[in-house]
Chains A and B, each alone.
Chain A
Amino acid sequence: MSGKPRLTYFNGRGRMEPVRWLLAAAGVEFEENFLETKEQYEKLIKDGVLLFQQVPLVEIDGMKMVQTRAILSYIAGKYNLYGKDLKERALIDMYVEGITDLMQMILMYPFSPPEAKEKNIESLKERATTRYFPVFEKVLKQHGQDFLVGNKLSWADVQLIEAILAVEEKIPTVLSGFPQLQAFKVRISNVPAIKKFLQPGSQRKPPPDEHYVETVLKTFKK
C-alpha cells in the first residue's frame, strides 16, 4: 500500500508551504519529517536522497521529488487542479509563476538585514498592489466566475489565496482597493478542505520567526 506523501523540510513555511497548501486543498493527508539540525541535512545528502542536495523533498508515489515547482505541478496534475486542457494549463502556469515571483519577496524577507526590512515591506506593497493583485482582480471581474481558470478550483486559486494571506500578514489593508479579491478570499477560504487547513491544529505553519531563521541559517552554513 503506498503511504501518504512525506514532506522533508524545516518546521516552518519556506518553500514547502505552497506544497502543504496544495495537498491540503486536494484533501490529501501527508506526513512531515522536520529538519532541525545540520547533521540531519548532511545525512540526507550522504544518503543520496536529495537530487540536487536541496530541500524541499516530497516522497510521493515511489518518487523522491525535489524542486518545488516540479512537486506542485505533479500534485496539481494528479488531483485535477491543473485545468482541463493545454490552454487552461497555460493560464494556470502564468498565474502561478506571477504569484511565485510575489511570494519570493516574502520568502526572502526574514533573511534580509534589519535596516532593509522597512524598504522591503514598501517594495512588497508596491508590487502586490500595482503589478500582481490588479491582474487577478481584472481576471475575476472579466469572467465573473468564482475561480481564476475554467470555472473550477485550480492550483492558481490555491496559490493566490496563500499569497493574499501572506501579504496581509505584513500589510493588513493591502486588499482595500480590490473588491473582487476580497470576495475571492472569502470564497476560497470557505472551500471545505481549505477551511480545514486554515483552522488551528492543521499542518499550516505560522509566519517565520527568529528561531526558524536561525535553524535555516545554521543548517546551510558551510
Chain B
Amino acid sequence: MAAKPKLHYVNGRGKMESIRWLLAAAGVEFEEQFIEKKEDLEKLRSDGDLLFQQVPMVEIDGMKMVQTRAILAYIAAKYNLYGKDLKERAWIDMYVEGTTDLMGLIMQLIFQTADTREKHLALIIERATTRYFPVYEKVLKSHGQDYLVGNKLSWADVHLLEAILMVEECKADALSAFPLLQAFKGRISNIPTIKKFLQPGSQRKPPPDDKFFASARKIFSF
C-alpha cells in the first residue's frame, strides 16, 4: 500500500503551496513535516535528503523529489491533470509558466522593505491586469469552455485559481475587468476537492505575514 506523499517545507505558503493545491485538487491526501528552525533544514541536508540542498522536497512513490516544477509535473501527469497529448501538455505548460511568473512576483514581497513594498504591489497588479489575466480571459472567451485546456480540469486551471486568489489578496477587485475569469473562479472553486481545500481546517496555508517572513529569513539565512 502506497504511503501518502510527505511534504517537507516551512509552515507557510512559499514554493510548496502550489503543490498542496494540486494534490488537494487531485483528491490526494498528504502529510506535512514542517521545518521550524534552521537545524531542521540542516538535518535534511546532512541526511542527504535534498538533492540540491533545497526545499520543497516531497517524498512520493519512493522518490525524494525536489524542484517545484518537477514535483508539480509529476503529480499532474500521475493524476491525469496534464492533458491528453503533447500539444495539450504544451498549452498547459505555457499557461502554468505564466501563472508561475505572476505568483513568483507575489512571492518576492518577502524581499521588499517598507520603502519598496508599495511599488512592488503596484507592479504585481499591473502585471496581473495587463499581462496575465487578459491572456486567460481571452483563452476562455475563445473556446467558451469551462476549463483552459481540452475541456477538462488540468493543472493549468488549478494554478490559475491559486494565482487569482493570491492577486485578490493584494487587491480585492483585481478581477473587475475580467468577467470570464470571475465565472471561472466561481466554477473551479466549486469543484468538490477544491471547495474542500478552500474551507477552514484544510492544509491550505494563510497569506504570509511579517512573523512568517522573519522566521523564513532565519531558517533560510537571507
Q: Which residues of A contact B (CB under 8 A)?
A: 51-53, 61, 63, 65-67, 69-70, 73-74, 77-78, 86-87, 89-90, 93-94, 96-98, 101, 131-132, 135
CA distance A63 to B93 in the complex (A): 13
Let me know if A87 and B61 touch, CB within 8 A.
yes
4 A-B pairs closest in CB distance: A93-B70, A70-B93, A67-B97, A97-B67
Nearest CB in chain B: distance from A5 CB, A: 13
Nearest CB in chain A: distance from B77 CB, A: 5
Q: Main secondary structure on chain B at its contact with chain A?
A: helix
Let me know if A63 and B87 touch, CB within 8 A.
yes
Residue among A63, A66, A89 making CB contact with B73, cutoff 8 Å: A89
B217: Cβ under 8 A from any A Cβ: no
Give the chain A neighbours of B90 by CB distance below 8 A. 63, 65, 70, 73-74
Nearest CB in chain A: distance from B92 CB, A: 8
Give the chain A neighbours of B65 by CB distance below 8 A. 90, 94
B63: Cβ under 8 A from any A Cβ: yes
Q: Main secondary structure on chain A at its contact with chain B?
A: helix
Q: How many A-B residue pairs have CB under 8 A?
A: 77
Give the chain B neighbours of A70 by CB distance below 8 A. 90, 93-94, 96-97
Let me know if A67 and B94 touch, CB within 8 A.
yes
Contact with A along B37-61 (1 / 0, CB 8 A): 0000000000000011100000001
Nearest CB in chain A: distance from B148 CB, A: 13
Contact A52 B73, CB 8 Å, known A67-B98, A77-B86, A101-B52: no
B89: Cβ under 8 A from any A Cβ: yes
Interface residue tally of chain B, by bracket? 20 to 34
B19: Cβ under 8 A from any A Cβ: no
Nearest CB in chain B: distance from A132 CB, A: 7
Contact with A along B104-129 (1 / 0, CB 8 A): 00000000000000000000000000
Nearest CB in chain B: distance from A130 CB, A: 9
**Contacts beyond the supplied A63-B90, A69-B69: 11 A-B pairs with Cβ under 8 Å:** A52-B131, A52-B135, A53-B131, A74-B93, A77-B86, A86-B74, A89-B73, A90-B63, A93-B73, A97-B69, A131-B53
Give the chain A neighbours of B94 by CB distance below 8 A. 51, 65-67, 70
Give the chain A neighbours of B98 by CB distance below 8 A. 51-52, 67
Give the chain A neighbours of B147 by CB distance below 8 A. none
B101: Cβ under 8 A from any A Cβ: yes
Give the chain B neighbours of A101 by CB distance below 8 A. 52
B178: Cβ under 8 A from any A Cβ: no
